[in-house]
Amino acid sequence: MDIAYYASVLAVLSTLVRQPQTLSCNSNYSPAREKKYVTTLAIYNIWLHPLSAYPGPLLWRAFRFPFLHAMITGKLPHKIRHLHTQYGAIVRLAPDELSFLDPTAWRDIYPKNFVRPKEYKDQPPGKAAANLIACSEQEHVRLRRVLAPGFSERWVMDEQESVIQGYIDKLVDKITARTEDGEGGKGGETTVDVVEWMNYIAFDIIGDLTWGSSFGCLDGLRYHPWIQTVSQFKTALVVAATKFYPLLNGMLMAITPPSALKEVMEMWRVTEEKVRERVQRGGKGRADFVSVVLAAADKQGEGGGERMTQEEMEVNAMLIVAAGSESVTTVLVGVISYLLRNPEELATLTREIRDTFRSEFEITGAALKNCVYLNAALNEGMRLCPTIPDSMRRLVPAGGAVVCGQSLPANTVVSIPPWASYRSPRNFARPDEFLPERWTSPEKEGKDDSKIAFNPFSLGPHNCPGQNLAWMELRLILARLVWRFDMSIPPGVELPRWEEQGIWWFWDKMPTLVSFSQFR
């Protein structure tokens, strides 16, 4: 059935790939000619293309559409993992794309001058300003340089920890109140959906750290409309898929009514308003990412430094908020889920936190860096629940390049799929098990693991700039929850199986109910 489905759709898409006159009343056009074109294209891609020697499913090697179908249905990373199991360490995912499991590919691809393919350089509707995703390499260097002070470890420790701790205070107070008044539970215990609550705190923190004010999620225990818009990645991926067929993309954009973008435009209205208000305050108040950008502009006015335009500030603020919140939520929910399924590991982490700190006030970012098991549990959570499970695709530059000993032609799309790589027995022993000990005892539990395969924040000039901030948030939130509460799976509740969730760029996380009771 799948083959018939692909064949019928590809017959239409192949028309769109051709010259614009194909869509017009061209007297030379005929279904027979189109059928011949599709057949010729398939024969070339499967048997004559420079990548024809690499294994993969027949239709995937012939056309891009099976790849895109898996992407827009939320199954692509799962499918890639299955294909690597079936075909080996190198799989051809499309006529011009290869996926690698060999961990040495990380340094062959990401620290080099491999750029992001144009189809993956998304520009938000109505915005043309350079951002960390859609920009030239020169612009990317400039934007990273402007934002760098706000992502430094020292700045995170000095300027951001007090803000983060304040929101964690609010989180634990809200949960404590629910255990005391019986809301959501009874008898000193309450049940909450940790997907919602981790989203609340993650968005409140990153909003405050970006433009100096939160979304108020923890105050009202509800999502802000901005957040609900960001979660609609399914539609965004459909639009992204059409970029491989420019005529189809143009037609889609032409017929999309303004009402379809209403929620997106509301997100931009809020973003513009927040950034504008923060810019008007100038250097007054507490430091945040906008103040970092303003300081860079002031420095340029003194004869040094660089700056961002107002629209660049808005677009990059949006990216920081979206990425900074979703990643923290994913790891925390994933780690909590696996800890609850593995009571011995949860007990070990609980002992470490409660034995190390005599009071909750002693729990600081600096102190938590020395908590070995906490850091191991978070690493294992990022391995099993990577924040971006799909691949970060790059383009082989002009002149070609060598990846894992393979000489590849220019314009080949290459990548390492984190979800498949981290779950592969080629890279990790017992890959589907939650084993924090693999990070604490490499000579024993982790002796058969390839640690160079694990790069949760990627590598090179396009790696995640916010990893210092992410680590502080993850450590502080998890440690303080463990110190304050005993967590358990509510009676009669079955936690979602993480690996069965859909993936539309980010994980489509299912509700995850967890019981909290006060420890002291």
- Produce one character per residue of 29-58: b if its CB has 16 or more CB atoms within 10 Å, e if not: eeeeebeeebeebbeebbeebebeebebbe
pLDDT of residue 15 exceeding 70: no
The reported pTM is: 0.91
Cβ–Cβ under 8 Å, residues 345 and 339: yes
pLDDT at 247 (0 to 100): 84
Residue boundaries of the structural domains of the chain: 96-518
pLDDT of residue 10 exceeding 70: no
Long-range CB contacts (within 8 A, 24+) of 227-230: 227/199, 227/203, 227/325, 228/263, 229/263, 229/264, 229/266, 229/267, 230/267, 230/321, 230/322, 230/325, 230/326
pLDDT tens-digit map of 271-312: 999 999 999 998 777 889 999 999 988 876 655 668 899 999
pLDDT of residue 224 exceeding 70: yes
pLDDT at 301 (0 to 100): 62
| CA end-to-end span of the chain | 59
Q: Average pLDDT, stretch 432-438?
A: 96
Among 71-80, 178-187, 289-298, 419-428, the range scoring the smallest mean pLDDT is 178-187
Which residues have a Cβ under 8 Å from the Cβ of 494 and sit 6 or more positions away?
none
Instruction: Kindly report the backbone phi and psi dihedral angles of residue 193, in degrees, each rounded to the nearest multiple of 5, phi listed first.
Output: -85, 110
Q: Which of 115-124, 255-264, 386-395 has the highest average model confidence (pLDDT)?
A: 386-395
Q: How confident is the model at residue 19 (pLDDT cuts 50, 70, 90)?
A: very low
Residue % of the chain over a pLDDT of 70: 90
Q: How confident is the model at residue 183 (pLDDT cuts 50, 70, 90)?
A: low
Of residues 258 and 376, more confidence is placed in 376
- Produce one character per residue of 204-216: b if its CB has 16 or more CB atoms within 10 Å, e if not: bbbbbbbbbebbe
Q: Average pLDDT, stretch 423-438?
A: 96
In 187-277, DSSP assigns E strands to 189-193
**Class of domain 96-518 (CATH, top level):** mainly alpha
pLDDT of residue 44 exceeding 60: yes
Q: Average pLDDT, stretch 463-471?
A: 95
pLDDT at 127 (0 to 100): 77
Among 32-41, 350-359, 367-376, the range scoring the smallest mean pLDDT is 32-41
pLDDT of residue 446 exceeding 80: no
| Cβ neighbours, 10 Å, residue 173 | 12
CA of residue 291 relative to chain centroid, distance: 25
pLDDT at 3 (0 to 100): 41
Of residues 108 and 264, more confidence is placed in 108
pLDDT at 34 (0 to 100): 75
pLDDT at 360 (0 to 100): 95
| Cβ neighbours, 10 Å, residue 302 | 7
pLDDT at 25 (0 to 100): 44
pLDDT of residue 347 exceeding 80: yes
Output DSSP code: residue 94. Answer: E
Of residues 265 and 281, more confidence is placed in 281
pLDDT of residue 340 exceeding 70: yes
pLDDT of residue 12 exceeding 60: no
Instruction: Kindly report the backbone phi and psi dihedral angles of residue 394, in degrees, each rounded to the nearest multiple of 5, phi listed first.
Output: -135, 160
3 state DSSP class of 340: helix
Residue ranges of alpha helices (H) inside 282-308 are: 289-301
CA of residue 189 relative to chain centroid, distance: 33
pLDDT at 121 (0 to 100): 83
Among 217-221, 252-256, 270-274, 303-307, the range scoring the smallest mean pLDDT is 303-307
pLDDT of residue 23 exceeding 70: no
- Compute the mean pLDDT over every residue in the chain, rounded to the nearest whole number: 89
pLDDT at 410 (0 to 100): 97
Residue 464 known to bind ligand: yes
Which residues have a Cβ under 8 Å from the Cβ of 281 and sit 6 or more positions away?
212
